[in-house]
Amino acid sequence: MSQPNTTAPRTPWLRPMVARDPAEPHRAATPLELLFDLCFVVAVAQVGAQLHHALSSDHASTGVVSYLMVFFAIWWAWMGFTWFASAYDIDDVPYRLTTFVQITGILILAAGVPRAFTEHDFTLPVIGYVIMRTGLVSQWLRAAHSRPQGRATALRYAVGTVVIQCAWIGWLFVPHAWQTGAFVVLGLLDVCVPIWSEAAGQTPWHPHHIAERYSLFTLIVLGESVLAATLAVQQAIDLRETPLALFSVAGGGLLIVFSIWWLYFAKPAAQFLTSNRAGIPWGYGHYLIFASAAAVGAGLAVNIDYATHHAHVSHTVAGAAVTVPVAVFLLVLYVLHIRPHHVPLAHNLLSPAAVALVLAVTFTGIPVLATGLILAALVAASVVISRPAA
């Protein structure tokens, strides 16, 4: 009697980089993509921690600018890999090795985050970013070689990315006073590369796969808020005389995290990701969703410092460190996730009203707890309005 074949499937050494089927059923994130995301946790944690220290030290003006710049590099590097993998993930040995190169780049970028904040030295983040993007260029060149019908698009991606990477290296030598303006220009040129490339033909990305990948990264940035709320609870337990404000931050922080999760995952996105016209604005808009969600964690940490008398900021500034990113999150989430579903008028009014209320409670005595209660009420109202009629 023959024995059943229990040998695990082998990873192929080399495959033609043909496109994946954009209608492939049950398309889910691969273990390699999960490893890729896991390494981004390090970068997000680094940039969140540095934003926290900058805000607590009353260096908001420089800290927020550095945060937005570094987070842009993190987000855009993740975007490039994610959308490429959705179309061309063939999981052979060269593909895996090239992905490892990209992971190495993000770890180098993460290692340079502290200097970017404290010394305005972006050398390591730029080096890590260029390594990541160079790895992606090699993938696009493979796709151009293996898929004639998508060659023009792939070559545009490769050429555009190489040119912009050379410009980013040159950016390191721009005088400090001009770097922020030059960064904005280069950032805009960087995000224009996919728009220019896709004009030659749409890359066959998978809508459900893209929606899942974005959901997973949302969970990563929410982890910063979970960590901050946990630290608040820990300090409340460790202190002999715990200030009531610390319990307020801990409780409000948990409500904020739970509500943000609920609101983001309440509406499926894949059903309206039907083309580049819908997918590109949706994907780009997530820069603000990811950055604001991660900033909420830094804001909670600032409020922990304020409650324990370790922050050098006013009560209003500490409150704004939470309320402003929450308001940005709610507003962008409404534009990207709620409005496209053509929900009833009452549902359309909820998010803008919640944004106004969240900003207003910045000036109250319990901004974090009040924000958490507003978000919890928004969730409850959304559930009631969305409930099907009996």
Question: What does the longest C-alpha to C-alpha distance in the chain come to?
Answer: 79
Stated pTM of the model? 0.90
**Exposure on the CB side of residue 145, measured as CA atoms within 13 A:** 9
pLDDT at 2: 43
Query: pLDDT tens digits for the chain (390 residues)?
Result: 444 444 445 567 877 788 888 888 888 899 999 999 998 888 998 999 899 999 999 898 889 999 999 999 999 999 999 999 999 988 889 999 999 999 999 999 999 999 999 888 999 999 999 999 999 999 999 999 887 888 999 999 999 999 999 999 999 999 988 999 999 999 999 999 999 999 999 999 999 999 999 999 999 999 877 877 777 667 667 766 667 788 888 889 989 999 999 999 988 888 888 889 889 999 999 999 999 999 999 999 899 888 888 888 999 999 999 999 999 999 999 999 877 766 666 677 888 999 999 999 999 999 999 999 999 999 999 888 877 654
Reduced 3-state DSSP string for the chain: CCCCCCCCCCCCCCCCCCCCCCCCCCCCCCHHHHHHHHHHHHHHHHHHHHHHHHHHCCCHHHHHHHHHHHHHHHHHHHHHHHHHHHHHCCCCHHHHHHHHHHHHHHHHHHHCHHHHHHCCCCHHHHHHHHHHHHHHHHHHHHHHHHCHHHHHHHHHHHHHHHHHHHHHHHHCCCCHHHHHHHHHHHHHHHHHHHHHHHCCCCCCCCHHHHHHHHHHHHHHHHHHHHHHHHHHHHHHHHCCCCCHHHHHHHHHHHHHHHHHHHHHCCCCCHHHCCCHHHHHHHHHHHHHHHHHHHHHHHHHHHHHHHHCCCCCCCHHHHHHHHHHHHHHHHHHHHHHHHHHHCCCHHHHHHHHHHHHHHHHHHHCCCHHHHHHHHHHHHHHHHHHHHCCCC
pLDDT at 386: 72
At position 388, the amino acid (one-letter code) is P
d(CA 257, CA 267): 17
